[in-house]
Structure 1
Amino acid sequence: MTVSNRQAWQGQIWLGDDHGLLVGRPGHTDRHAHYAHQVLIGLDAPVWVEVDGQRLSGPLLLVESGQEHAILSQDDPCITVFAEPLAFSSAALLAACDQGAGDPQRLARLLRDWPRPPLDARLGKALARIRGVDEHALPAEELARAATLSISQLERLFSGSLGLSVRRLVLWQRLRQALQLALAGHRLTDAALAAGFADSAHFSRSVRSQFGIRAGAALRHLRLGTLA
């Protein structure tokens, strides 16, 4: 299938601090992997996903953080949930999705109110600084100072708790910010620069590697909503 023939993602997306929810028709993606857990819930038919090279189908499918996957379903509406592993274990996310599977608004409320596990206070301070990232650089030294740690201690804390580096989590947050700005109506270049990307090409490459889609084509058919 050529890129031009691929259906773009369509629907409405709600973004929370540590999760997001998209209701609509999924589009085809290339293989990719990202930090968030992902759950797909078929509304009218089973969903199809390729995970680690294996094709899977069902009414509700989980893709865990860091798993390489591609979305194969395109025609049938579904709910897609993204949730950061620090906020939701895969078991907790599946429990929430089971309870709210057929009702997007109820699922949005469940995800918003679901109890989060306690965080190491030092990690919490670093995450708070990352969530406030802007167009400026955010060196590891600054994060280490915020968490009152050395850089090596900070990296060990992140790799042990999250399984990823400080740099990759900062990139994930910049992607969230740029996507939110673009969905709110900002030009792609302006959204990318405001979130700290060098240019729109840098942002587009990051979207492609993290989500397996082309940013411009994908965002054109999505609407930004507010969590209930």
Structure 2
Amino acid sequence: MNHSETLPTTLYLWPQRTLFLGYIGPLAPLNIGAHTLLVGVDQGIPVTVGDRTIVSDRLLIPAGTSFTASSNGGRIGCCFLDPMGRDFRFHKSRMREEEAGLFVADIEGDLQHQILAQLHDQQAGAAQAYSKLAGVLFPAGDEVVADFRADERIAEVISRIRSDPSDNVSNNTLADAVGLSGDRLQRLFKEVTGVPIRRYRLWHRLFVTSSMMALGSSLTDAALAAGFSDSSHLTHAFKSMLGMSPSTVLRRSQQIRILVGQGEGFT
């Protein structure tokens, strides 16, 4: 057995990005709330959208896309990218678009594979991993990304949602806060992030729940604090958006490390 096969998978939770790294196994059908980069660390991975299957060692999947994937027994890096679309444009410019709406790499991403393999082998902490991946898996803090310009109104809405995940503040209230109509905000938010406001709110609640579980909260306490009505509501959302149940993560605590880090803001 390869030494790396005995090492646990790590779930890195940063404010703007989340990364699964290691042996994840088959992913159940997903409908994700964030743009996603899939990297087959050891080999290509098949991703199916509708009736089309694409095999590549790097795939960029737009937010809101329903897909299935399998690591085929190898290590995988599954990175949920920032909500403002900066990471998405960072990778999109280096990839080609396929008919299924996915983007794949034309050339080998040796540096990405090498660093992800090293981070897994070293069981790197959240701060070390973030530092190593800046400029590789997502743009560095001051790096200019072509065709990207942050929309401060959407950044403000995201900030308000994140400030209290349990608060179901209305879309009209959010729109008033940034000087837009409710309909205009809905359209602009999806244009920028790839998902509706409600979907992003749910996505962030999953992040909060996972972070609280990592810090020792019970599943029920984490679900209620993050704004889910009960643990059943959380489990349904967890399965549909992350491909596994939260109880599975807890049961596999010896095989999955959950690490919470700082990261950076929207710029």
Q: TM-score range by the shorter chain?
A: 0.7 to 0.9
Which AA in structure 2 matches 1:131? R
Once the two structures are overlaid, the 10-residue window that deviates more, 210-219 or 107-116, is 107-116
How far apart are residue 211 of structure 1 and its match?
Answer: 2.2
- Decide whether aligned partners of structure 1 residues 153 and 100 sit closer, same or farther in structure 2, where only a CA change above 3 A counts: same
How far apart are residue 57 of structure 1 and its match?
Answer: 2.2
Distance between the aligned counterparts of 2:35 and 2:154, measured in 1? 20
Name the counterpart of 1:201.
Answer: 232
The one of 204, 208, 224 aligned to 2:258: 224
Name the counterpart of 1:86.
Answer: 84
Give the alignment's Cα RMSD to 1 decimal: 2.7
The superposition leaves residues 163-218 of structure 1 with CA deviations (integer Å, 9 ceiling, x where unpaired) of: 43222221111111112212332211111111100011101111112123222113
User: How many residue pairs get matched?
Assistant: 219
The one of 22, 36, 40 aligned to 1:42: 40
Name the counterpart of 2:140.
Answer: 113
With normalisation by structure 2, the TM-score equals: 0.71
How far apart are residue 148 of structure 1 and its match?
Answer: 2.8
Distance between the aligned counterparts of 1:218 and 1:51, measured in 2? 26
Once the two structures are overlaid, the 10-residue window that deviates more, 148-157 or 124-133, is 148-157
Q: Percent identity?
A: 26
- Decide whether aligned partners of structure 1 residues 216 and 87 sit closer, same or farther in structure 2, where only a CA change above 3 A counts: same
Distance between the aligned counterparts of 1:78 and 1:56, measured in 2? 16
- Decide whether aligned partners of structure 1 residues 112 and 58 sit closer, same or farther in structure 2, where only a CA change above 3 A counts: closer
How far apart are residue 64 of structure 1 and its match?
Answer: 2.4
The one of 79, 103, 108 aligned to 2:115: 103
- Decide whether aligned partners of structure 1 residues 182 and 75 sit closer, same or farther in structure 2, where only a CA change above 3 A counts: same
- Decide whether aligned partners of structure 1 residues 63 and 161 sit closer, same or farther in structure 2, where only a CA change above 3 A counts: closer
Name the counterpart of 2:58.
Answer: 60
Q: Which runs of 5+ in 1 are unaligned?
A: 1-9
Question: Quick check: 1:21–1:80 contact (8 Å CA) kept in 2?
Answer: yes
Distance between the aligned counterparts of 1:67 and 1:102, measured in 2? 28
Q: Which runs of 5+ in 2 are unaligned?
A: 1-7, 96-104, 117-128
Question: Quick check: 1:31–1:68 contact (8 Å CA) kept in 2?
Answer: yes
With normalisation by structure 1, the TM-score equals: 0.82
Question: Quick check: 1:30–1:70 contact (8 Å CA) kept in 2?
Answer: yes
How far apart are residue 37 of structure 1 and its match?
Answer: 1.9
Once the two structures are overlaid, the 10-residue window that deviates more, 127-136 or 191-200, is 127-136
Question: Quick check: 1:83–1:93 contact (8 Å CA) kept in 2?
Answer: no
3-state SS of 1:170 partner:
helix
